[in-house]
Chains A and B, each alone.
Chain A
Amino acid sequence: MSQTVLEEHASSPAAPGARPVRGNDFLYYGLRNKKLLFGLGLELLLILLAIIGPLISPHNTTDFYKLASPPSAQNWLGTDSFGHDIFAQLVVGLRESYLVGALSAICAAIAGMVLGFIAGWRGGVLDEALQFLTNVVVMIPALVLLVVIGSYLNTRSVMFEGVFIGLTTWPWVARAVRAQTFSLRSREFVDLAKLSGKRATSIVVKEIAPNMASYLFLAIILLFGSSMLLASSYDFLGLGPSNTVSLGIMMQQATLNSALFYHMWWWVFPPGMVLTAMVAALLVANVGLDEVFNPKLRER
């Protein structure tokens, strides 16, 4: 579904194992990169809104007000057809989106890195087997799996959604990590580390991982964004969390209750606009970071 965001960038070669630059240099270029500053700034603003929004919102998501009223002093973004305040829903939805994104990015990063390092480092039959596992996970119909697991649960929570998305999207990380480990493991400094009698785990952690740290970081940021989009798709299809509001659920409700035909633009525009801003800010910050990590990309 929204996997393309990640695929696109995972496929771009972020030259592994280059540039032993010190942290200060990153900071120097980072503070002078407009894309990074803009993306990060917008993202921080939205995160701030997600944190303090529920506190400053004068209403909560379950109270009832005048039905379908446009934005006013009382309801800042108006109300939906049930009389729920839209601003209150929006800020809670924002918070849930970040939660889902962060959770799934963490799960996918851990699973993908562990399996990717093992496959790339050991190679051979183990690599073959893990690649096979990766292909199978890609192939499993995530939607149906979600329905099946969901039917065993009394309530589907945000936690569940985040972990689920993480555990179905790790193959993209694993593939990238495996490929990079493959190209790094025959380098001289790795051979040297092997000769010095270091254990495999410490070589992977201390010699190989740092050389793809920037790449991994970027991949995880993209994963964060694409997970939020994927979650909004699940929510829109009615498979999202059942005990809270989310941006996807707002869009689903707007569609189901024909918000369009009643010209309720205040219900149609905000959820998607906020989500677009969240993901776009991540993408822009990501390009900025890419330029910071990678001197070749810096604007001349």
Chain B
Amino acid sequence: MHRFLIRKLITYMMAFVVGVTIDWGIPHLMPGDPVQTYLSQFRLQPAGYAALYSTMSQAFGTNMSALAQYLHYWKGMLTWDLGVSYTSFPTEVSTMIGQALPYTLALLVPAIVLSYILGNRLGAAAARRKLLDNSVLPLGYVFQAMPYAWVALILPYLFGVVWHVFPVSGGYDHSLLPSWNWTFIWSLITHWFLPFLSVFLISLGGWAIGMRNLVIYELENDASRYLRALGARERVIRRYAYRNASLPQLSGLALALGVVVGGNIVTEVAFQYPGLGHLLYQAIAGKDYFLLQGIFIFIIIGVLVANFIIDLVFITVDPRTRLSMQGAQA
């Protein structure tokens, strides 16, 4: 058991190191000199250009050797110093991430958790019940099949342009100054609702359909048949089926929450919602490498932690996993 955990931990640490290295390396594969690209937008005189070039190279650390840059990068990461953004020079990358993170978390965590709860209930209820299965489930397939970009087009069209109920873009009303009063909070909530709804609807379909299939499998297995043979009530059998079916769903939830820190880029871009996804988009559009690297460190950590939690949860919750892992070791 301990040996297994230690081995897992080592694998994850190695994956982390490799991930960080790739994250550092990818921007270096880009053609062109980032400082040159950055300065080319200013139309400078040659003398001024040379002076600025050397200053900026020093500021961004691009004049160091690759190895020195790599080590510097690790040092910076461990001290939460992710460098300075190109596009909004001289803002620190960590500051920008810090500002965007609350929006992303407030948007995605409720959307995923609520859709998980409701979707699982719906799916479990629909399994092996003809009426629900034929009415609710088709809607689930449609929800699951909708592209984020399209939902982010039609929801604002219906709720914003046609019915005038909700604002269609931004994180808050830009005529307001961010402060903790009710007008501002209300503005935050109304701007939050449509992006939330679009992520919620799309994830809802996935959870419901996954749960429906899993519960059907559970209702057909020997344990359920045995319960039925013993004369247990259908409600009881379903309760057990639901609990057993929750395991794979739970790992799906952990994975979904693991990538939350990357934001939902399409939804956030379409709604101009100031979260991490939108920041990521800006970083890509502006070729802002430090910002990209900073956000991806976040994503890597999120994915790895989520996977590790899945491993742990499965070992503690499901004895079969424990057995199969020992078997795999031998």
Q: Tell me whether A260 and B157 are in contact (CB under 8 A).
A: yes
Q: Could you say which residues of chain B place their CB within 8 Å of the CB of A77? A: none
Complex-state Cα separation, A128 to B214, whole angstroms: 29
Q: Could you say which residues of chain B place their CB within 8 Å of the CB of A123? A: 328
**Most A Cβ at <10 Å: residue of B150, B152, B287, B299:** B150
Q: What 0/1 readout, one digit per residue, does chain B (146-185) give for beta carbons within 8 Å of chain A?
A: 1111111110110011000000100000000000000000
Complex-state Cα separation, A272 to B270, whole angstroms: 14
Complex-state Cα separation, A31 to B230, whole angstroms: 37
Q: What 0/1 readout, one digit per residue, does chain B (283-304) give for beta carbons within 8 Å of chain A?
A: 0110100001000100110011
Closest 4 A/B residue pairs (Cβ): A272-B150, A279-B145, A280-B145, A11-B248
Q: What 0/1 readout, one digit per residue, does chain A (50-91) give for beta carbons within 8 Å of chain B?
A: 000000000000000000000000000000000000000000
A-B contact count (CB 8 A): 182
Q: Tell me whether B145 and A144 are in contact (CB under 8 A).
A: no
Q: Can you list 13 A-B pairs with a CB-CB distance of less than 8 A?
A: A1-B265, A4-B252, A12-B213, A132-B18, A136-B15, A136-B19, A151-B30, A232-B147, A248-B147, A255-B152, A272-B149, A282-B145, A287-B213
Complex-state Cα separation, A233 to B280, whole angstroms: 14
Task: Show the binding face of B for A, using Cβ within 8 Å.
Answer: 11, 14-15, 18-19, 22-23, 26-27, 29-31, 128, 130, 138, 141-142, 144-154, 156-157, 160-161, 168, 203, 206-207, 209-210, 213-214, 216-217, 220, 248-249, 251-252, 255-256, 264-266, 269-270, 280-281, 284-285, 287, 292, 296, 299-300, 303-304, 307, 328
Complex-state Cα separation, A131 to B325, whole angstroms: 15
Q: Tell me whether B15 and A2 are in contact (CB under 8 A).
A: no
Q: Tell me whether B217 and A272 are in contact (CB under 8 A).
A: no
| A181 in the interface (beta carbon within 8 A) | no
**Most B Cβ at <10 Å: residue of A7, A237, A279:** A237
CB distance from A140 to the nearest CB of B (A): 6
Q: Could you say which residues of chain A place their CB within 8 Å of the CB of B256? A: 4
Q: Could you say which residues of chain A place their CB within 8 Å of the CB of B214? A: 12-13
A233 with B142: in contact, given A13-B217, A144-B292 (CB under 8 Å)?
A: no
Q: Tell me whether A12 and B217 are in contact (CB under 8 A).
A: yes
Nearest opposing residue in chain B for A264, CB measure: B157
Instruction: Pick from A148, A237, A254: contact of B30, CB below 8 A.
Output: A148
Instruction: Pick from A9, A147, A269, A282: contact of B210, CB below 8 A.
Output: A9
Complex-state Cα separation, A284 to B145, whole angstroms: 10
Q: Tell me whether A2 and B147 are in contact (CB under 8 A).
A: yes
Q: Tell me whether B154 and A272 are in contact (CB under 8 A).
A: yes
Q: Could you say which residues of chain A place their CB within 8 Å of the CB of B148? A: 1-2, 233, 236
A280 with B300: in contact, given A4-B203, A12-B210 (CB under 8 Å)?
A: no
Q: Could you say which residues of chain A place their CB within 8 Å of the CB of B328? A: 123, 182
Complex-state Cα separation, A182 to B325, whole angstroms: 11
Q: Could you say which residues of chain A place their CB within 8 Å of the CB of B216? A: 296-297
CB distance from A249 to the nearest CB of B (A): 10
Nearest opposing residue in chain A for B251, CB measure: A11
| A143 in the interface (beta carbon within 8 A) | yes
A284 with B15: in contact, given A123-B328, A148-B27 (CB under 8 Å)?
A: no
CB distance from B308 to the nearest CB of A (A): 11
Instruction: Pick from B19, B206, B265: contact of A143, CB below 8 A.
Output: B265
Q: Tell me whether A237 and B281 are in contact (CB under 8 A).
A: yes
Q: Tell me whether A140 and B22 are in contact (CB under 8 A).
A: yes
